[in-house]
Amino acid sequence: MKLLFIRHGCTAGNLEKRYIGRTDEPLCQEGIRRLHEIQYPRCEVLISSPMQRCIETAKLIYPGQSAIVCNDFRECDFGDFEGRNYLELSGDAAYQAWIDSGGNMPFPNGESPAAFRKRSCTAFLGMIAAYGQAESIAMVVHGGTIMSVMERFAEPPQDYYAWMTENGHGWCGTYIQNKILEPERI
């Protein structure tokens, strides 16, 4: 089966490098424009995060195709860091502690990175179980969701941050026996 992971188009918060997790922000005009510049592979099954930015992206790049919404594909809850960027957070002791942890400690009043990764991977396996008979599946999700799934299932393996993906781009690979083989950038 061919698997496509596509990060949603750009939002105003993305342009300002803000932590946008639970905020249900729409695409900005720049994000919409950029999506129209990319040719996306076709898919038989289309799956999306429930967040507005993902649903809008799915509709723009796969017009006329209905997306199956997977609630557990939503982005990480960044807690107290939500809506802020690294400049606004500099000098914040909680933010510095999170940075010093290598990004591994839970976000204050938010989700832990470990719980988020587990949620993303469990949702991925659920979607594969439900729609794995398809020849191709496109998943329009968030950067963190893509990084979580690719870190666990991609061959050859790479660490979480190696799978960082720009808005509107993603990865395409072949799924066989719980592995995503030789993914290529979209």
pLDDT tens digits for range 21-54: 999 999 999 999 999 999 999 999 999 999 999 9
For residue 103, give the CATH number of its domain: 3.40.50.1240
- Domain limits for position 99: 2-185
Q: For the stretch 44-81, what's the b/e string if a residue is b when 16 or more beta carbons lie within 10 angstroms of its beta carbon?
A: ebbbbbebebbbbbbbbbbeeeebeebebbbbbbbbbb
Please give the share of the chain, as a percent, with pLDDT higher than 90: 98
Arithmetic mean of pLDDT over the chain? 96
Instruction: Please give the pLDDT value at position 133.
Output: 95
Look up tokens 């076709």; give the residue: 42
Instruction: Please give the pLDDT value at position 25.
Output: 95
Q: Contacts for 118-124 with beta carbons within 8 Å, 24 or more apart?
A: 119/72, 120/72, 120/73, 120/144, 120/145, 120/148, 120/149, 121/148, 121/149, 121/152, 121/153, 122/72, 123/70, 123/72, 123/73, 124/149, 124/153
DSSP β-ladder status, 68-69 and 45-48:
parallel
Number of domains in the chain: 1
